[in-house]
Amino acid sequence: MTANSSNFADRLLEAVREKKNPSCVGLDPRIELMPEQLKETSLRRYGNTLEAAANTIVEFNTMIIKAVADVVPAVKPQIAFYEQYGSAGIRAFEETVRYAKSQGLVVIEDAKRNDIGSTARAYADGHLGEVNLFRDSEARIFDVDAMTVNPYLGVDGIQPFIDSCKKYHKGIFVLARTSNPSARDLQDRTVESEGRTIKMYIVVAMLIDEWGKELKGEKGYSSVGAVVGATYPKEARELRAVMHNSIFLVPGYGAQGARAEDVVHTFNEDGQGSIVNSSRGIIFAYRNEPYRTQYSSAKFRDAARAAALDMKREITEALARAEKLNW
């Protein structure tokens, strides 16, 4: 299977195999955490404006992508950090996506979109597919490889995204068990299903497994994946048993407290099926130990690269100890 496969799951797994690295860098830019020299350059050029913020984001992201492009197979920009700056921020998001793709990276947009009917279709078209223009023409807008979606409205809110996955060979990751502490408020609730009492996240997992059956690739995995937080390893084992053919997008590693040993449970026995994300722990590594004492703010990209390499090593060593390393 080549990187040109028409199935998103196959493409992502091949990218993981080529880099020998099942990790992903989250591009969640925060102006207040960026190096002062980047901000000062934008301020001199644009003044204290939204354009200055957007320019800083693009410069920062470009440098981070350059630093990690040969290490990781994918990046995950969280669109909220861009949308907050209005049209200037959206431009920064679009430029970030284009540059990441030009460097051969898989781009997973963290958007958590959800609605029904024509509104869900508009989200799917704008982010994954094409939108209608005049005289029967169409245009691709964000054109990300995959995005996160919320299953709360049921299949009415998911089907338009599945349709786009089929038509444009894209992927989605459906929220199943998220990494935040209050996830238990809803996701741990018990419900009656087919004569047994089960947790809500298991109900969602069964739906994800069903929704993804028609989108399996040659490697046996579906382009309909699941978001499963690394901070809940016990639940991850349960979910893997239900969603054997789903790729897990795994947040919570690093800054949120999960370790390499925790994410091992999200992988299948074949050593495949997960892409583990770290955002702050990579892109702002220069602000934290041990990188802070080794790299100045002017070398923030070198700190990010070092952190990405450390993450790769930690996860692959944990997989090897669990006899799940397979490349």
Catalytic residues: 112
Q: Which residues contact 162 (CB under 8 A, 6 or more apart)?
A: 172, 211, 214, 215, 224
- Is 205 within 8 Å of 242 (Cβ atoms)? yes
Greatest pairwise CA separation for the chain in angstroms: 66
185-205 burial, b at 16+ Cβ within 10 Å, e below that, comes to: eebeeeeeeeeeebbbbbbbb
